[in-house]
């Protein structure tokens, strides 16, 4: 009998996001960019932990695509921040 990893992945991501949002509200500094970066860190860690060597289920491919898109968006955020620093 095999246990599906999908509910575990969803539960981990929801728990991670709830923890992040709670700490942001407790600190009084809710920032969507920080939330996005911390979400990306969580999705990358989960993607690395569930990836297998020989078989890649469909949901792992979807997580990798989401992580890739998140990495591209992270690059855009970084470029925007650098642009603001350089050209004010």
Segment 33-84, tens digit of pLDDT? 889 999 999 998 988 888 777 877 788 888 889 999 999 999 999 999 999 9
Instruction: Report phi then psi at 53, rounded to 5.
Output: -80, -40
CA neighbours within 13 Å on the CB side: how many for 61? Answer: 4
33 lies in which domain range? 6-87
Residue 1 lies in a domain: no
Q: Based on the structure, what is the number of domains in the chain?
A: 1
Residue 69 lies in a domain: yes
Tokens of 84: 């603001």
- In the chain, % helix, strand, coil (3-state, to 5) comes to 80, 0, 20
* pTM reported for the whole predicted model: 0.77
């Amino acid at each position: 009998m095999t246990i599906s990893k999908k509910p575990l992945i969803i539960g981990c991501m929801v728990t991670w996001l709830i923890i992040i949002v709670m700490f942001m509200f407790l600190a009084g500094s809710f920032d969507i960019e920080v939330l996005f970066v911390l979400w990306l860190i969580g999705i990358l860690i989960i993607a690395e932990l569930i990836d297998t060597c020989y078989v890649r289920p469909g949901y792992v491919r979807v997580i990798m695509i989401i992580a890739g898109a998140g990495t591209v968006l992270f690059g855009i955020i970084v470029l925007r921040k650098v642009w603001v620093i350089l050209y004010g």
